[in-house]
Amino acid sequence: MNYPVIKGTSYVLAHTPDFIPFGSTQVFAKKGGDTEYLSELKKHQRTFEDVVAYPANQCFIGNITPENLAGITAPWYENQMSNAERTGRFGEIMPQIEFFGLLKHSDVFDLVKLTPEFIEQANEALASHPLLSHIKLDAEKDSMQAVDMHALLEEHVAEPLTMNGELVGCVKRAHDEDENLSSHIILENLSVKASGVLAALHLKNQGIDLSQVDYIIECSEEACGDINQRGGGNFAKAIGELVGCDSATGSDLRGFCAAPAHALIHAAALVKGGVFKNVMVVAGGAVGKLALNGRDHIKKGVPVLEDSLAGFATVISENDGVSPIINTDIVGRHTIGTGSSPQAVMTSLISAPLKRVGRTIPDVDKFSTEMQNAEITKPAGAGDVPEANYKMIAALAVKEGQLERKELMNFVKKHGMPGYALTQGHIPSGVPFLGHGRDAIMGGDINSFMVVGKGSLFLGRMTNQFDGISTLVEKNQGIQQEAGFDGDEARKLVAEAMKDVATRMLQKAGGQE
């Protein structure tokens, strides 16, 4: 049977230190009058150069592999990489000045205004970007004087865009009364769109023709809409419009942290079923998660590592005989009746789908689970999330007699990897390894890896349920003919049959061949 393949994957980071005040932790701090925390937070912020040189970020955009990252002494923020590049194998790390320009470019309702001076600077920065040089902001149409912006801010009908403490722009509300179109929500949603656009554009560097994409699934954690349909969407088509996906339609898929894994399986099913040939899965970043663990980082003397928006994109296509396949026969799912115990969750997502096709846990070369960077989560008391997952997977293999207990930690080292993704909610959940894993399979280093997405549905206050879904990506064995059918042989048989029929007809009519 032919399976859909992963044609290419991209990852981007947009360093947005001046968006940190819009993160949920900071919004609550401001409402509570915690000026001490907000003041201290500024002292712990990193420069763009620090963000680029941070090893985990270099791994995210593909300049080093997870194995390379594991060899760098922790804490990584104290062992920055020399000569680090802002562009990588899979994408880039974008400075804030360019992102503000892209934010305005993503605005089709004239809700973002920039000062004339900043527009000039942004245009100059974008002009040298290989994927964004076509953008030229209109200094007359897109600008507003700072004094007029201050008036909007004082009326609480706009959010400020600042650079180094200077007001360079603002994001206006889209409706006088609808809080779903407030300036804060518009800023969050435009940030999703802009970072999603950047991720999608980087697929071009993977050799993908975006004009050939015919369906888009956007799977971030935000939702756009108005009072009548709060999550109506559609980020997917909004992003596709700006990146040249003129032949595509699309929709948004929401599932908290597990959404990207759900979207990956949806895309694979659409391609395998023949509904669409090329499906793009894309997600922008979450403003609310900026400095999510800021309080704990400051207490522990850790820099504010959650200072960037993350985005990713991947294209799932028909089998080309070469690219790694998504084996849709191996899909693990946390069902409504599964329960929430760690063992039940791991069994449903890891061992159960493998058992159904006669495989074992150690048969999978790598597991990409919740790939949060432990330097972010440990100071907050959440521990090393990926390592905890690998230990549970190994323990499950021991319990099922597939692994000796003494090999447990060796399994963790061999089949796992260090977490290197920002805590952007959906971004760490399984998909950060799609790029590295694809390269490793294509290079012959591994044969397979499992993508495992998990989610916390109780956050929406509609159910106490947990969520999770998984699938296996593995080496392409080439395009397989359906059992009992050979196209070339069939055509030969048809030609011979037609010739035989023609001969008999001529003979019956008294003619000769």
pLDDT 10s digits, 217-262: 999 999 999 999 999 999 999 999 999 999 999 999 999 999 999 9
The residue among 27, 349, 346 whose CA lies nearest residue 184 is: 27
pLDDT band per the 50, 70, 90 thresholds, residue 340:
confident
Each residue's pLDDT tens digit, 5-15: 999 999 999 99
Q: How far is CA 106 from each of CA 190, 213, 220, 390, 498, rounded to the nearest angstrom? A: 7, 20, 17, 40, 59
Residue 169 φ/ψ, nearest 5 degrees: 180, 180
Residue 506's pLDDT is what? Answer: 56
Residues 6+ apart with CB under 8 A from 44: 294, 297, 298, 302, 303, 304
| Torsion of the alpha carbons at 238, 243, 248 and 252, rounded to the nearest 10 | -40
Average pLDDT, the chain: 94
Residue 490's pLDDT is what? Answer: 46
Long-range residue pairs from 455-458, CB within 8 A, at least 24 positions apart, any chain: 455/255, 455/256, 455/257, 455/258, 455/259, 455/429, 456/256, 456/257, 457/256
The counts of H helices and E strands in the chain are 19, 13
Residues 45, 304: Cα–Cα separation, whole Å: 5
- 260 within 8 A of 312, measured Cβ to Cβ: yes
Domain ranges of the chain: 5-111+173-474
Q: Is 239 helix (H, G, I), strand (E, B) or coil?
A: helix
Q: Which CATH architecture has domain 5-111+173-474?
A: 3-Layer(aba) Sandwich (3.40)
Residues 115, 477: Cα–Cα separation, whole Å: 56
Residues 60, 9: Cα–Cα separation, whole Å: 11
- 451 within 8 A of 473, measured Cβ to Cβ: yes
Residue 345 has pLDDT above 80, yes or no: yes
Residue 158 φ/ψ, nearest 5 degrees: -155, 155
- 371 within 8 A of 386, measured Cβ to Cβ: yes
Residues 6+ apart with CB under 8 A from 161: 18, 100, 103, 112, 114, 167, 168, 169, 170, 171
Residue 485's pLDDT is what? Answer: 46
Residue 500's pLDDT is what? Answer: 66
Each residue's pLDDT tens digit, 363-411: 999 999 999 999 999 999 999 999 999 999 999 999 999 999 999 999 9
| Torsion of the alpha carbons at 354, 356, 359 and 361, rounded to the nearest 10 | 30
Please give the helix or strand (H or E) that residue 11 lies within, else none: strand 5-15
Residue 499's pLDDT is what? Answer: 66
pLDDT band per the 50, 70, 90 thresholds, residue 494:
very low
For residue 267 the two structure tokens come to 């895309």
Residues 137, 135: Cα–Cα separation, whole Å: 6
- 66 within 8 A of 436, measured Cβ to Cβ: yes
Residue 493 has pLDDT above 90, yes or no: no
Beta strands 448-456 and 366-368 are parallel
Residue 486's pLDDT is what? Answer: 52
For residue 126 the two structure tokens come to 């974008």
pLDDT band per the 50, 70, 90 thresholds, residue 512:
very low
Residues 190, 19: Cα–Cα separation, whole Å: 12
Residues 392, 408: Cα–Cα separation, whole Å: 10
For residue 370 the two structure tokens come to 């919740």
Residue 508's pLDDT is what? Answer: 58
Residue 283 φ/ψ, nearest 5 degrees: -150, 140
Residue 497 has pLDDT above 70, yes or no: no
Whose tokens are 């997600």? That residue is 283
Residue 42 has pLDDT above 60, yes or no: yes
For residue 146 the two structure tokens come to 């700072």
For residue 274 the two structure tokens come to 């023949």
Cβ-based burial of 509 (10 A; exposed 0-12, middle 13-18, buried ≥19)? exposed
> What's the whole-model pTM score?
0.93
pLDDT band per the 50, 70, 90 thresholds, residue 193:
very high
Each residue's pLDDT tens digit, 455-492: 999 999 999 999 999 999 999 999 875 555 454 554 56
Q: Which amino acid is at 232?
A: G
Q: Is 478 helix (H, G, I), strand (E, B) or coil?
A: coil
